[in-house]
Structure 1
Amino acid sequence: MIIEIKIPTPGESITEVELGKWLVEDGSVVSKNEEVAEIESDKATLTLVAEESGKISFKVQEGDTVAVGELACTIDTDAAGEPTASAPPAKEEPKKEAAPAAKEEPKKEVGASKDQPKIKTTAVAREMMEEHHLSVDDIIHGLQRIGKKEVEAVVSQPAAAQPVVESAPKNLFSREESREKMSMLRRKLSQRLVAVKNETAMLTTFNEVDMSPIMELRKKHQPKFVEKHGFKLGFMSFFTKAVATAMQFHPAVNSMIDGEEILTPAFVDVGIAVSTPKGLMVPIVRNAESKSIPAIELEIKELAEKARTKKISIEELTGGTFTITNGGTFGSLLSTPIINPPQSAILGMHNIVDRPMAVNGQVVIRPMMYIALSYDHRIIDGKDSVGFLVKVKNLLENPQLLLTDGKDPEELLLQI
């Protein structure tokens, strides 16, 4: 029986995809539910799965652009039990009786394995190894460090005993080049980035955050948090909750232009930029304003893992009213992030660096992070952009305010 595997529909607006890479060999036998190919759209990289076990036959080649619903490959289920082509097993040689042990020499060269050079061992060392049932491999892999004694032992050996390693001549100059086709995701990303620069009035405002309160909170409660929830508490969940809370005071930052109208959602769907081998992806944490820190942290962890393993769906990448990108994971100190259209703003996180700060008239060392807000000046005024970033700073430096939606607990208590 021949099963046809067709290109699935990644999303409503996608009509064609690119077959990025076959994960199996043409003509090989595949198992049911085995991933056989990577499919790249302009939004994500997805996988093609074998519906049944059998012999696969390719109908399109790597790099081909194919329409949704087009035949990608066929699977012959009648060949499911056939073994894949492989080299015949080597003929087993009859075992030879071990030669009688020769008289022990004071020193003897022992081969650790096929790939390792012969190593001298003394009679005392061999007796200790036999007593503790250790091989030369065990001794070599058990070495934790090379010290002065080990170096001197090698240096003191005769020159003939030291292996001579011939190094390949180095090319002082190279004129080599490599060329590869851009993926559909990378091409679409390039178009969108250029369009943002040309179609928006993008500006960036900066501030800095003292990360001491959040770092102390994480250090104090991390063991109990991991024990209860099963995963570690990171920084991104605090930033996600902080921007969602700050939107209540500056809703313009959560707005977007729709034709000649300004659309302002009552919810906050935060996109978290994730770097993957195939390019940048932005999975969405929906209704961040209504979720707790642990719930946000878990969702970010699951979405990031899906994006990196190509298991994420188009629906999980679609939408979003605001984006956070963290260049600090790569060591960035300061940058100007680019807006993710049709959104009107994006927050950039950066590296945490100990810097001298003036606190209560004294110079102290604090872990500081620069934060940047890039925004579309056509819809967001300077007052809202700066005020929003100051509010985010205040919430992060006083994380207890995230429990009261950014409002002063004493004012809530007194209802003023």
Structure 2
Amino acid sequence: MSEEIKVLLPKLGESIHSAIIVQWFKKVGEVVQLDEPLLEVSTDKINSEIPSPIAGVLQEICAEVDQEVQVGDLLAIISTEGMQTKKNLEKNTPSSISIRVEQDPDFFSPALLRLARENNLNLEELQKIIGTGSGGRITKRDLELYLEKRTEKEESSLQSIERLQMTGMRKAIADNMVRSFYEAPHATLITEIDITDVMQCIQKEKQNFLEKYQAKLTLTSFIARALVKALQEFPLLNSSLDKDTILMKKFINLGIAVSIEQGLLVPVLKRAQELSLPKIAQGISDLSHKARKGKLAPNDVTEGTITITNFGMSGVQIGIPIIRYPEVAIIGVGASYRKVIPREDDSLTIRNMVNLSLTFDHRVLDGMYGCAFLKTLKGHLETDEGL
């Protein structure tokens, strides 16, 4: 007895509600095994493979590449009847259907659509091409001739333009940033912090720390620890907004922005309020390594409550980052620099400084609250107790 199984987009994480189809590993008519990767999807957090829930034949693909789908949407249908091959499926297809499709001038073959997509040709423009095939259908040669003529007309301007198609991850990141920027009124405060003592501690302890904990002792680790302390005094920054209700989080999950070739990933250090400095450093190191190797699991990139982004690694001293929805705040870390500071006796000293920026959702807190938070964070860093 045959059975048709619907493949739906599963929930990939607590705050993930949609994804973009990146690629299909199987074609209609091909056999697929239980748990064999069926397709790849992308969110603003991570790329994931969706496995087949059953062994059978891929009967229908219901979501195309680059299409955005919601959790629970139908992706494909798998049939278990006889494990038929593509040849058998074609043999059993009624001839009336084949005749109707071939005579439909609005039918475009997968190869034709793929060629159009590769040349940035939308469906509306494709339908304007005069077809020379049976029943007025557009053939591959019709499309190639159209593209040649279009190229000749636009050649002079196109020589100085390079088109880069946005990847699934890049588009997902863009959508998330646009949503955050337009839904949350952003405000940013910046403070200058003396990190001389912290940098001296790092220089003194970094080798022993690496040998003992197999992780680098970095400025980000110290900032993360100071941030956790400050958040316990200013919990509004560790919340999210659900319509007109502020959701106060009793746990602190730190998002650590990691730059990769395809964009930006933000793995999450869970329950940071329970971690010592060595554990924070180890956690950041492990998550960053997994991000760059493409080994992050969905659980590694969900449930963040506040994010740290370190643009100082690129030599930038001041930046204004965008909040990661649905969080209400993000901390930006600039590049450290040396500055001449006058003492009380009018003598001069050289100190290591860094600019920290706080971007926050003005619906949740006001500027004075943000200023008090930054002052507290600054105090924790400048009077850090070391390891």
TM bin (shorter chain): 0.5 to 0.7
Structure 1 residue 176 displacement after superposition: 3.5
Equivalent positions of 1:283-322 (< 5 A) are: 283-322=267-306
Structure 1 residues 41 and 234 mapped into 2: Cα distance closer, same or farther (>3 Å)? same
Structure 1 residues 248 and 209 mapped into 2: Cα distance closer, same or farther (>3 Å)? same
Equivalent positions of 1:28-67 (< 5 A) are: 39-47=41-49, 63=66
Tell me, yes or no, if structure 1 residue 262 matches structure 2 residue 246: yes
Choose from 371, 376, 383 the match for 1:386. Answer: 371
Q: Which residue of 1 aligns with 2:222?
A: 238
Q: Which residue of 1 aligns with 2:316?
A: 332
Report the Cα distance in structure 2 between the residues aligned to 1:305 and 1:179, rounded to whole angstroms. Answer: 31
Report the Cα distance in structure 1 between the residues aligned to 2:171 and 2:253, rounded to whole angstroms. Answer: 25
The amino acid across from 1:192 in the alignment is: N
Structure 1 residue 63 displacement after superposition: 4.9
Report the Cα distance in structure 2 between the residues aligned to 1:63 and 1:377, rounded to whole angstroms. Answer: 34
Equivalent positions of 1:4-23 (< 5 A) are: 9=10, 10-11=12-13, 17-20=19-22
Q: Which runs of 5+ in 2 are unaligned?
A: 27-34, 54-60, 79-156
Give the secondary-structure state (helix, strand or coil) at the position aligned to 1:247: helix
Structure 1 residues 178 and 62 mapped into 2: Cα distance closer, same or farther (>3 Å)? farther
The amino acid across from 2:230 in the alignment is: A
* Contact 1:201–1:376 under 8 Å retained in 2: yes
Report the Cα distance in structure 1 between the residues aligned to 2:15 and 2:364, rounded to whole angstroms. Answer: 27
Report the Cα distance in structure 2 between the residues aligned to 1:208 and 1:301, rounded to whole angstroms. Answer: 26
Q: Which residue of 2 aligns with 1:247?
A: 231
Give the secondary-structure state (helix, strand or coil) at the position aligned to 2:370: helix
* Contact 2:45–2:266 under 8 Å retained in 1: no
Give the secondary-structure state (helix, strand or coil) at the position aligned to 2:232: coil
Structure 1 residues 47 and 341 mapped into 2: Cα distance closer, same or farther (>3 Å)? same
* Contact 1:253–1:384 under 8 Å retained in 2: no
The amino acid across from 1:306 in the alignment is: K
The amino acid across from 1:350 in the alignment is: G
Tell me, yes or no, if structure 1 residue 277 matches structure 2 residue 261: yes
* Contact 2:309–2:332 under 8 Å retained in 1: yes
Structure 1 residues 34 and 177 mapped into 2: Cα distance closer, same or farther (>3 Å)? farther
Report the Cα distance in structure 2 between the residues aligned to 1:395 and 1:312, rounded to whole angstroms. Answer: 31
Report the Cα distance in structure 2 between the residues aligned to 1:177 and 1:330, rounded to whole angstroms. Answer: 27
Q: Which residue of 2 aligns with 1:124?
A: none
* Contact 2:44–2:176 under 8 Å retained in 1: no
Structure 1 residues 328 and 7 mapped into 2: Cα distance closer, same or farther (>3 Å)? farther
Structure 1 residue 12 displacement after superposition: 6.7
TM-score (norm 1): 0.61
* Contact 2:358–2:374 under 8 Å retained in 1: yes
Tell me, yes or no, if structure 1 residue 374 matches structure 2 residue 376: no
Structure 1 residue 327 displacement after superposition: 0.6
Report the Cα distance in structure 2 between the residues aligned to 1:234 and 1:392, rounded to whole angstroms. Answer: 17
The Cα offsets for residues 276-326 of structure 1, whole Å up to 9 and x where unpaired, read as 222222211111111011111111111122222222122221122211111
Question: Number of aligned pairs?
Answer: 306
Percent of aligned pairs with the same residue?
31
The amino acid across from 1:280 in the alignment is: L
Q: Which residue of 2 aligns with 1:179?
A: 163
Report the Cα distance in structure 2 between the residues aligned to 1:12 and 1:264, rounded to whole angstroms. Answer: 16
Structure 1 residues 305 and 36 mapped into 2: Cα distance closer, same or farther (>3 Å)? farther
* Contact 1:202–1:377 under 8 Å retained in 2: yes
TM-score (norm 2): 0.65
CA root-mean-square deviation: 4.1
Report the Cα distance in structure 1 between the residues aligned to 2:357 and 2:15, rounded to whole angstroms. Answer: 32
Structure 1 residues 7 and 378 mapped into 2: Cα distance closer, same or farther (>3 Å)? closer
Structure 1 residue 371 displacement after superposition: 0.8
Report the Cα distance in structure 2 between the residues aligned to 1:49 and 1:325, rounded to whole angstroms. Answer: 33
Report the Cα distance in structure 2 between the residues aligned to 1:371 and 1:271, rounded to whole angstroms. Answer: 16
The Cα offsets for residues 173-211 of structure 1, whole Å up to 9 and x where unpaired, read as 993322232223322322232233322222111111112
Q: Which residue of 1 aligns with 2:381?
A: 396
* Contact 1:46–1:312 under 8 Å retained in 2: no
Q: Which residue of 1 aligns with 2:349?
A: 364
Report the Cα distance in structure 2 between the residues aligned to 1:35 and 1:358, rounded to whole angstroms. Answer: 63
